[in-house]
Chain A
């Protein structure tokens, strides 16, 4: 099978990329003025966060598709909605003036198109039951990356700001996202229903609705009680941006490989369980 040969090659390439990215982060990147070397945690913290969010977003798309596809009306409606989001994002990017600070029109348009593209890509490549398998995979790997974000965050905050944790927007939203997906994984593990995928998909939808609300509520909270902002915005040195993007690319490749392995494991496991179920059905007949 072609897959078997491709995987080790990709794994090797990813390992090389990760090592290179590590070198860039630790050695080649310029030292930050105020924070010193500790700032280099940034190169692992931020890519992990972006990867986790991407994975959770894919999980959300899969959950929606799993719920919506069996019903042709809902399916069509969702298709059109997703298409509308993409088009609206493109229009909004160039029509809305002025944009909130730090956001470029091109990134708004790209994000909108990416959402639409991702939705239809997943729809094309994965049948409905496999969408569920992908959902499990992205949830698990997403939780792994999210854990890393929550561990590296405080490790960065402590030497720089003197505190392990603060209820700022980003950290709290990430924590809630992490909690929601842990509860998602627990539901999957503890559910005895035959329709676990449906229940889990419903939970994922709830989680997705929740996160913007969390973000907004903490944002209000922060404007009422100003607190330190971890990893504040503002412009970034282009050399640092370069290293950041390299690390992100490396971690994306790594995440893709991990997801691929986990996905194959999941599909294999489902096949085994089906076979075992069939065996159990056929056995009683053979025994006296």
Chain B
């Protein structure tokens, strides 16, 4: 049907633009997330105060745990706004394919979490006196792939958690176990690049595989989740 093929990018783009515009106008979520990220970095820096050599070994893990917490807080409130205004019911009724909504949400979350990471990274570099001994450009690939892994599953599980009691705790409960291989890859890749000791190639390939597998799985199953009432 020409209508459905023409619509997807249109709907995705429109939904994404709407989300971004809302965020920019209200700025309350953005501000609280910024402050939260700063707090996380500071608290972690107090807890672990290593010298430059040690910090390269553990920074990978620390940074990604911090990003993980920030992502969970961000994800928790993406669907909340939709629920408040009964937007989800409107989506269910509209002819727009469910995947467009999902992609738009994922992209919006991705941009959101990426912004947080970009803001948190200089702080981490400063507090831990970090300097990459390996190829630093690979860090960008790791960050992008890793963030996508967290965000695509996170958005999916956030949608599932919508209809549960204790909604906010349900999301990390569902997200963390499934994300373990991705987290392992992210942390090890980052550590490998920072210390320059090993090659991060395997981990990047693993992350890419994880992203592809779970993006496909989410796209295939999201319609069921959206319509589950």
Chain A residues proximal to chain B, CB less than 8 Å: 67, 176, 179-180, 182-183, 186-187, 190-195, 198-199, 202-203, 205-207, 209-210, 213-214, 216-218, 220-221, 224
Contacts and interface: CB of A to CB of B under 8 A. Distances in A.
Contacts of A216: 181, 206
A192 B228 contact: no
A202 B170 contact: no
Given A187-B164, A193-B228, A213 B209 contact: yes
Given A67-B224, A195-B228, A206-B214, A217 B173 contact: no
A176 to B, nearest CB: 5
Contact of B173 (A176, A183, A213, A224): A183
A177 to B, nearest CB: 9
Given A195-B228, A217-B185, A176 B180 contact: yes
Nearest to A192: B163
A19 to B, nearest CB: 36
Given A176-B181, A203-B160, A206-B217, 4 more contacts: A199-B225, A202-B160, A202-B221, A202-B225
B221 to A, nearest CB: 5
A218 B224 CA distance: 32
A224 B198 CA distance: 8
Nearest to A177: B177
Chain A interface, >50% SS class: helix
A201 to B, nearest CB: 9
**Closest 4 interchain pairs by CB?**
A195-B228, A179-B177, A193-B163, A213-B181
Contacts of A203: 160, 174
26 contacts: A180-B177, A183-B174, A183-B177, A183-B178, A186-B170, A187-B160, A194-B228, A195-B228, A198-B224, A203-B160, A205-B217, A206-B214, A207-B177, A210-B178, A210-B180, A210-B181, A213-B209, A213-B210, A216-B181, A217-B181, A217-B184, A217-B185, A218-B184, A220-B202, A221-B184, A221-B188
B166 interface: yes
A168 to B, nearest CB: 13
B164 A190 contact: yes
B3 interface: no
Interface string B144-186: 0000000001000000100111100010011011101100110
Contacts of B228: 193-195, 198-199
Contacts of B166: 190
A172 to B, nearest CB: 8
Contacts of A179: 176-177, 180
Nearest to A74: B220
B224 A191 contact: no
A213 B206 CA distance: 8
B139 to A, nearest CB: 19
A194 B160 contact: no
Contacts of A186: 170, 173
Contacts of B202: 220, 224
A82 B100 CA distance: 30
B178 A180 contact: yes
Interface in B202-229: 202-203, 206, 209-210, 213-214, 217, 221, 224-225, 227-229
A201 B14 CA distance: 31
Contact of B206 (A180, A198, A217): A217
- Which of A67, A192, A202, A203 has the most CB atoms of chain B within a 10 A radius of its CB? A202
Contact of B213 (A193, A213, A220): A213
Contacts of B185: 217
A245 B184 CA distance: 35
Nearest to B185: A217
Nearest to A179: B177
Nearest to A191: B164
Given A191-B164, A217-B184, A224-B198, A209 B206 contact: no
Q: Give the interface centre of A194, A205, A217, A221 by most chain B CB atoms within 10 Å.
A: A217
B190 to A, nearest CB: 14
A195 B214 CA distance: 22
A249 B227 CA distance: 43
A70 to B, nearest CB: 10
A205 B213 CA distance: 12
A247 to B, nearest CB: 29
B109 to A, nearest CB: 18
